[in-house]
Chains A and B, each alone.
Chain A
């Protein structure tokens, strides 16, 4: 049995939860997938989890779980693990998942593999093979957890595929747990959403991404994005310099994307960046340095000055479109 610790914020499911249910359906040798849902007034989300492939949803509904806080969530997750005794536990490798996962694994004394991008069952031993990037993405490591159960992993959002929803039947059960005031061992003073309207670049089919080489001017890239019906993205250097939103950052500490088209303009292609975009179907890179590593992951590389090529490209594309 595989247990998925789902993530929701403000009653909205994080898509990684559905991706993990999709993957778990493939992996579960006994064909059984259970989803754990924690929050306040979230019971309604159970239906979505069932429709995406969960055989059973266990939920805990309590005011203390309304906003994510490590200890109450860890307490509930450990109770669910002890009750269900899963072979495997999967958690999304989001900020919340990577805050919660290690705490749970330490408490129940089992291994935790971080930020996995590939999961499979060893045909001989039946063990879960958990593959993940390390050393800034330079190295891939396959990790096993032979003598402790459950085998636990946090899994990077955007790399597994959710199943198409279908009307299914599943059991929905309340987790038997009670909380004490002392479980809220930190006090949340204030939570501010970062740019509410910020687009979710992981959902875009076309991403126009700029780096430090844009010299701080993203206006031509914005125009290019408009023409191609895409969204703006950026390297961390551009985000750190304040030229793009944090939510638009692609890479190891940003988002993992796999659009149909990724145009990298003035981005050197550090492994921490390419880790987040190398699954793109078509990558076009423009960089003035012929030795820039971004060219190693690009389908089409253009050596040249972005400040001159991008405006010309915009003009060329507009011409093509208007001649239709």
Chain B
């Protein structure tokens, strides 16, 4: 079986700060990481590899710097890595991103696709289901555990919703979106890192390489139905008063505030 894991390189949004004067996002010095849900997806795939010897391909679309993220995936144990990268793909919304990734996936061939649930920068959680739609395959979202069904080309997926847990069976070919599960993502090993840089390769896929799998009108800015009209840092709520006082005074302040608000 062949599994493709989609990984996105993202800025660590916990480190993103707002420039208090210009009011813009400060991105300099913010580390790039593999999107956290995608690490969960990689772990789910690698656990299947451990148990069944499946072949795992990591796939990313992004600028050439995303090479680092794919090397990390190789160092964790992936067998192959592809970077979909071309100026023509730039500015894509989730429709065009998913269409492009679906084209690459079709070219590479697959039985199972695993994406993260949500990327921490774009935060849409739309790319996984949209890849599944473009490929016309079933999806099982919010998966925290994936197991292969013995003797069948199918998986049992445990899903987590707001109010319930659900176990579903889904036949390959299919797509799963991963959330954090029982097993924490494994670390890269030293041997893995050496192999990722010395033995394994990250292969580039340009628009030219994907011709026949995705049309010019469906990629990049042109292929994107949505546009970002404007973006701005979230306005901080008017700051309240912070008291550094004794515990008894603190209690008094709170009690008075609750009385004032008619809450007691």
**Chain A interface residues toward B at CB < 8 A:** 9, 70-71, 74, 94-96, 98-99, 101-103, 105-107, 109-115, 129, 132-148, 185-194, 198, 206, 228, 246-247, 252, 260-261, 270-271, 278, 281-284, 286, 290, 295-305, 308-309, 312-313, 316-317, 320-321
- When A98-B125, A114-B126 are in contact, do A298 and B234 touch as well, CB less than 8 Å? no
CB-based contact B264/A106 at 8 Å: no
**Distance (whole angstroms) from the CB of A224 to the closest CB of chain B:** 10
User: Which residues of chain B are within 8 angstroms of A141 by Cβ–Cβ distance?
Assistant: 228, 230-231
* Closest 6 A/B residue pairs (Cβ): A111-B225, A111-B226, A301-B242, A136-B13, A114-B124, A106-B133
Chain B residues whose C-beta falls within 8 Å of the C-beta of A103 in the assembled complex: 129-130, 132-133, 139
- Whether B166 contacts A303 by the Cβ 8 Å rule is no
Tell me if B216 is interfacial: C-beta within 8 Å of chain A.
no
The complex places the Cα of A139 from the Cα of B224 at a distance, in Å, of 21
Whether A106 and B129, one on each chain, are in contact in the complex, defined by CB atoms closer than 8 angstroms, is: yes
Specify which of B123, B168, B244 is in contact with A114 (CB 8 Å cutoff). Answer: B123
The contact sample of 13 A-B pairs, CB cut-off 8 A, is: A70-B141, A101-B126, A102-B124, A106-B134, A113-B226, A132-B123, A139-B25, A185-B138, A192-B165, A295-B242, A300-B241, A304-B247, A316-B254
Contacts of B58-86 to chain A: CB distance below 8 A? none
Q: Which residues of B contact A297 (CB under 8 A)?
A: 236-237
Chain B residues contacting A190 (CB-CB under 8 Å) are: 166-167
Task: Give Cα distance in the complex from A214 to B174, angstroms.
Answer: 42
In chain A, what residue has the closest Cβ to B124? Answer: A114
State A141–B93 Cα separation when bound (angstroms). 13
B240–A138 touching, CB < 8 Å: no
- The stretch of B43-51, B156-164, B203-211 in contact with A is B156-164
Whole-angstrom distance between the alpha carbons of A147 and B165 in the complex? 39
Whether the Cβ atoms of A187 and B18 lie closer than 8 Å is no
Interfacial chain B residues near A283, Cβ < 8 Å: 240
Q: How many A-B residue pairs have CB under 8 A?
A: 246
What 1/0 mask marks residues of chain B from 131 to 144 whose CB sits below 8 Å from any chain A CB? Answer: 01110001111100
CA distance A260 to B257 in the complex (A): 12
Interface flags for B167-204 (1: CB within 8 Å of A; 0: not) read 11111001000000000000000000000000000000
| B28 is an interface residue with CB less than 8 A from chain A | no
| Contact with B168, one of A133, A188, A303 (Cβ below 8 angstroms) | A188
B88 near A: Cβ within 8 Å?
no
Known contacts A115-B124, A141-B230, A301-B241; A95/B162 CB under 8 A? yes
Contact A282 B257 (CB under 8 A): yes
CB <8 Å contact, B225 and A296: no
Interface size class of B (residues with CB under 8 A): 35 or more
Instruction: Chain B residues near A188: list those with CB within 8 A.
Output: 166-168
Contacts of B229 in A (CB 8 A): 129, 142-144
Nearest-neighbour CB distance to chain A for B28, whole angstroms, equals: 15
Q: CB-CB < 8 A to A136: which residues of B?
A: 13-14, 16, 120, 123
Contact yes or no, B129 A102, CB < 8 A: yes
Q: How far is the CB of A142 from chain B (nearest CB, A)?
A: 5
Q: Report whether A102 and B126 are in contact in the complex, using a CB–CB cutoff of 8 Å.
A: yes
Q: Is the CB of A112 within 8 A of B226?
A: yes
Q: Are A302 and B231 in contact (CB under 8 A)?
A: no
B residues within 8 A CB of A148? 225
Instruction: Decide if B232 touches A282 in the complex (CB within 8 Å).
Output: no
Contact B129 A94 (CB under 8 A): no
Of the residues A99, A139, A140, A189, contact of B129 by C-beta under 8 Å = A99
Further pairs besides A105-B95, A148-B225: 4, Cβ < 8 Å:
A9-B163, A102-B129, A135-B123, A271-B13
Evaluate whether A228 and B225 lie within 8 angstroms (CB atoms) in the complex, with A141-B231, A189-B168 already known: no
Contact in complex: A138, B18 (CB < 8 Å): yes
Among A186, A189, A290, contact of B242 (Cβ-Cβ < 8 Å): A290
Kindly state the separation between the CA atoms of A189 and B93 in the bound complex, as whole angstroms.
35
Q: Is B243 an interface residue (CB 8 A)?
A: yes
In angstroms, Cα B174 to Cα A237, docked, is: 32
B108 sits at the interface (CB 8 A): no
B254 A296 Cβ-Cβ under 8 A:
no
- Contact of A144 with B98 in the complex, beta carbons under 8 Å: no
* C-alpha gap A117/B241 in the complex (Å): 27
In the bound complex, CA of A312 to CA of B253 (Å): 12
CA distance A283 to B236 in the complex (A): 14
Report yes or no: A316 in contact with B255, Cβ–Cβ below 8 A: yes
Are B243 and A301 within 8 A (Cβ)?
yes
Contact between B247 and A308, CB atoms less than 8 A apart: yes
Least CB distance from B140 to A in Å reads 6
What's the minimum C-beta distance from A117 to chain B, rounded to whole angstroms?
A: 10
Docked complex Cα distance between A188 and B157 (Å): 10
Distance in Å: Cβ of A95 to nearest Cβ of chain B: 5
Please name all residues of chain B whose beta carbon is closer than 8 Å to the beta carbon of A321 when the two chains form the complex: 264
Task: Determine the chain A residues whose CB is within 8 A of the CB of B250 once the complex forms.
Answer: 286, 302, 304, 309, 312-313
B contact residues around A94 at 8 Å (CB)? 162
A300 touches B253 (CB 8 A): yes
A141 to B263, CA, bound (A): 36
Known contacts: A282-B257, A296-B239. The answer to whether A106 contacts B247 by CB under 8 A is: no
Residues from chain B with a CB closer than 8 A to the CB of A298 are: 240, 242
